[in-house]
Amino acid sequence: MANRLWVLVKGELNRLNKYNMTSVSVLVALIWGVILFFLDAELLNLLLPLVLMMDATMMAIMYVGSVMFFEKSESTISTMLVTPVSNSELLLSKLIANTFHNMFASALIIIVFVIFKDVQLNYLLIALAIFIATAFHTTAGIILAYFQKDFTGMLVNIMIFMFILAIPSFLFTFGVISGDAWEIVLLFNPVQAAQEIISGGFTGYEHGFKYYFSLGYLSIGGILGYIFYALPKFQDYAVKQSGV
């Protein structure tokens, strides 16, 4: 199984490169790098966790959603159904490949600022945070892809999904909304949770209840979403796309 999974992961990574997702990741990292490079230290410390959060959430959903749509249009899944691999191996390979692909993009941003801006990070915590946030939102992207009929609709729904979840998080970060009630509500917002654990990788962050709750929420929520929805519904999605 391990050998088959490794082959599938390599295939998914090649597919991401084939559909120019790797190029898009590098381009996005360069754009953010240029923008953030010219900010002063105070604003940089505020925005860099937000940029990494957006990369681990919205971009993770968009990458996996796009690849699954292209697979649909090329009937790739119908081909895979007749190979000696299980649904769990097929789906897990997508999760692993998209997660590490997105971590590569985030690493490019981090490297720029460690070298040129002397940003202080706990590398273990930041890697763990990006891994967990990306894996959770990749699972969310897979589930979202199950309901999409066309590429335009998928992009619109991703934007709606991120607008509903990200805007409150941004408003809270910049102090536009505040209060204990908002803190409690946003604890259950996966985008805010991603920002919380990513911020935990920066020097000076105090690791309190919100950090550990967010870490557990994304970890357990991602596992439960994968086991109880993404995996059981994959067969229906694959059969539907193959026209069987």
Q: Mind listing the pLDDT tens digit for each residue in 61-98?
A: 988 988 888 887 777 776 776 777 888 998 999 999 99
Confidence tier at 1 by pLDDT (50, 70, 90)? low
User: What domain range is 191 assigned to?
Assistant: 2-242
| Number of separate domains in the chain | 1
Q: Mind listing the pLDDT tens digit for each residue in 130-172?
A: 999 999 999 999 999 998 888 888 889 888 988 899 899 889 8
Confidence tier at 192 by pLDDT (50, 70, 90)? very high
Give pTM, 2 decimals: 0.91
Look over the chain and give the mean of its residue pLDDT values, rounded to a whole number: 86
Least confidently predicted of 109-123, 146-160, 226-240: 109-123
SS (H, E, C) the chain: CHHHHHHHHHHHHHHHHHCCHHHHHHHHHHHHHHHHHCCCHHHHHHHHHHHHHHHHCHHHHHHHHHHHHHHHHHCHHHHHCCCCCCHHHHHHHHHHHHHHHHHHHHHHHHHHHHHHCCCCECHHHHHHHHHHHHHHHHHHHHHHHCCCCCHHHHHHHHHHHHHHHHHHHHHHHCCCCCCHHHHHHHCCCHHHHHHHHHHCCECCCCCCHHHHHHHHHHHHHHHHHHHHHHHHHHHHHHHHHHCC
